[in-house]
Structure 1
Amino acid sequence: MKKILLLSSFFLFMTAFSLVLLLSLKENRNIRDLFSEKVHFTRSTTDTFHTWNDQRWEVRERFKLGRGYLLSQQIEHTPGSVKIKLNHQTADGGEIRTRNTFQYGQFEAAIKVAHAPGSITGFFLYAPPDLHHEIDIEIFNEPESKALFTIYQDGRVAKQQEYTLPFDPTEEFHDYRMDILPEETRFLIDGKVVQSWEGNFSSSPMQLMINSWYPSWLDIQGPALSATVINKVSYKQMKKPTGMEKE
């Protein structure tokens, strides 16, 4: 009798597991996400830029990067979006960044990148010094494009991988996401995991940043035909394990 009960329980478990797996595939979800849902996050902060929140965001005033500068005048806010304009003649771009810092969490942005070959759009976390604390998604600002995922740690490139985009990122908005956890870092595009690395790659709180600029390792190929547009950014931090929260 016990053997029959055990076999029945095992059969019910396998049936339930198969059903969950089939549903996850139907919804185009990565099975790893199902098990990562045990990770607890703080309530999501979402900014759709209907107004500019000066307590949450700041604009880089002037900073030398690549072939030109990141300048405040290259940032334009209109209700519902932030534009980062590019100037191919001066090679100037712009950058916005959060005032708060984050170590572990989930970070996502809806971005339509500029049509400006020779430049890139970055969605990333960073803390000085250079090459020590940085986790990047960089999209090449051109119709036939690719994304570059990079993790900098301890003064060097710890991980890097290119991914060919199956769409034109200059035409429509797409969702770019980073899940930064103590045991793994994942990169997702439109909800699909496209790159992941196991290990702890975050050792310091970092600012969340979005920029468009002209790297010195790319050749400028004409005028920028459009700006990078951001219409949503959301983020939530990983909660500390039970017992570690402050009273």
Structure 2
Amino acid sequence: MKKKWLLASLFLFMIVFSVILLLSLKERTEMPKTERETFTPSTVETFQSFNREDWEIREKFKLGRGYLLARQVAPAPGKVEIKLNSRTADGGEIRTRESFQYGQFEAAIQTADAPGSITGFFLYAPPDLHHEVDIEIFNERKSKVLLTIYQNGKVAKQMEHPLPFDPTKELHDYRIDVLPEETRFLIDGELIQAWKGNFSSKPMQLMINSWYPSWLEVKGDASSPTVIDQVSYSR
């Protein structure tokens, strides 16, 4: 009888332990989702028309080998196109008028097919190298992303990540979560990199651009523009 009672107690203990373990694992795997749900409801911009109260187009700005020019940006119903000119090395940029210190930022982007150029999805505030969180996508078929955080006048964190797809062929989702204790980068919902720490000390504008950096070699004509299909952001 005593043996049966011990076996029953052991069996009950194993069941309770298993339930506690499963709940713990579930909590760990769902932590990003829980943090995501703490953001306010997203503002979703589908660009059915270009809302100039919320967004602005960079008029003229020297960057890399050329300029960011307003004429290279072409809003259309349901999208914004940024055209690249390989002969003059000119590109374009759009940015929010509002600034954000923390939040979640996501964009559906199909990059230009323009080797030697990049598409940036990032947060920025002047001066240079002090307040910036970047996803930079190389505008070529066999591509990669460069993830960078600038802080206090220098690179605080940086890594390259090869892309398992051709970003010039279709839309993909790029996301940045800037939190007081962590900054995360996701592509198509998959966590690529997370850096612990507070890297934001000033509100930053959300920007998207395509341009020719001086540290890349222009390898041919741009055969397609960068297409921005949708952008969402929340605090």
User: CA distance change for structure 1 residues 201 and 90 in 2, over 3 Å: closer, same or farther?
Assistant: same
Q: After the TM superposition, which residues 126-165 of structure 1 pair with which residues of structure 2 at under 5 Å, given as runs?
A: 126-165=124-163
> Displacement, 1:16?
4.0
Structure 2 length as normaliser, TM-score? 0.91
Q: Distance in 2 between matches of 1:97 and 1:67?
A: 21
Amino acid at match of 1:42: T
Q: After the TM superposition, which residues 79-228 of structure 1 pair with which residues of structure 2 at under 5 Å, given as runs?
A: 79-228=77-226
Aligned equivalent of 1:36: 35
Q: Distance in 1 between matches of 2:196 and 2:181?
A: 6
> Displacement, 1:196?
1.0
Matched, 1:13 2:20: yes
Please list every run of 5 or more consecutive structure 1 residues that lacks an aligned counterpart in the other structure.
25-29, 238-247
Q: Distance in 1 between matches of 2:22 and 2:119?
A: 45
Q: Distance in 2 between matches of 1:105 and 1:34?
A: 14
Q: Distance in 2 between matches of 1:198 and 1:17?
A: 22
> Displacement, 1:42?
1.3
Please list every run of 5 or more consecutive structure 2 residues that lacks an aligned counterpart in the other structure.
none
Aligned equivalent of 1:51: 49
Q: Distance in 2 between matches of 1:169 and 1:152?
A: 25
Q: Distance in 1 between matches of 2:204 and 2:19?
A: 46
Residue by residue, what CA displacement relative to the aligned partner does 1:136-162 show, whole Å, maximum 9, x if unpaired?
000000000000000000000000000
Q: CA RMSD in A?
A: 2.1
> Displacement, 1:17?
4.3
Amino acid at match of 1:236: S
Aligned equivalent of 2:65: 67
Aligned equivalent of 2:76: 78
Q: Distance in 1 between matches of 2:218 and 2:18?
A: 61
Rg (Cα) greater in structure: 2
The share of aligned pairs that are identical, in percent, is 64
User: CA distance change for structure 1 residues 9 and 59 in 2, over 3 Å: closer, same or farther?
Assistant: same
